[in-house]
A = this chain, B = another copy of it.
Amino acid sequence: MPKRGKGDRYHHGDLRTALVDTAIELIDERGVRQFSMAEASRRLGVAVSAPYAHFASRDDLLAAVAVRGYEVFHAESQAEMARAKAPVDRLAAMTRAYIRFAGTHRPLFEVLFDSGLDKQRYPELKAAEQPISDAFADCVEALTDSEASADDLAEAVEATAHGHALFLLDGKYGQGADAIELAAERAAGGTRALVDGRHRLGG
């Protein structure tokens, strides 16, 4: 185990990984907006300049965190979807996974959706997002006739999931595991309702 703790230094050669881990820790405690390279350095007991040997900027570090976020969400949503067969159930499962991801990996969710990171500047981010978009598109297309109505449904479901996720993080469902499950059920219910009423979406 690498040394940690007050006064210790961090000389084991995996500062890069440690920085990503510590960033997630700090974001969990204070939010992305307050995250700083300097504080990460202090927590790890290294000089404020040390991180710059591994990441050219704060945004570069956040991008690395974001990639991990996409990977985690993809894995978890795939697992959740595997248990459902009908397209509407798979879509509801993905919604549920979205909420659970937001609730259980709040710092990752924040980096993905509230960090102000310019995702266009980081090709690895777009690459990490792609398989998720594909899986989502598959679900939606199985439920709609035309491409236009697929887009409508996709956006409606995304918006509902995202809205519920934000409300969850804002404390509107309370705190803890119960809040997460409540939000997940509400969002899944919203998805089912949208699928049910999807012919009203366009007009």
Interface residues of A (CB under 8 A from B): 31, 33, 116, 152, 155-156, 158-164, 166-167, 172, 186-187, 189-190, 192-203
Contacts and interface: CB of A to CB of B under 8 A. Distances in A.
Contacts of A186: 152, 155-156, 159, 201
A169 to B, nearest CB: 12
Contacts of A192: 197, 200-201
Contacts of A160: 156, 159-160, 163, 190
Contacts of A195: 197
B163 A189 contact: no
Contacts of A33: 33, 116
SS class of chain A's interface: helix, strand, loop or mixed? helix
Contacts of A187: 159
A201 B192 CA distance: 7
A196 B200 contact: yes
A105 to B, nearest CB: 19
A147 B158 CA distance: 27
A189 B203 CA distance: 6
A158 B190 CA distance: 11
**Which has the most chain B C-beta neighbours within 10 Å: A194, A195, A203?**
A194
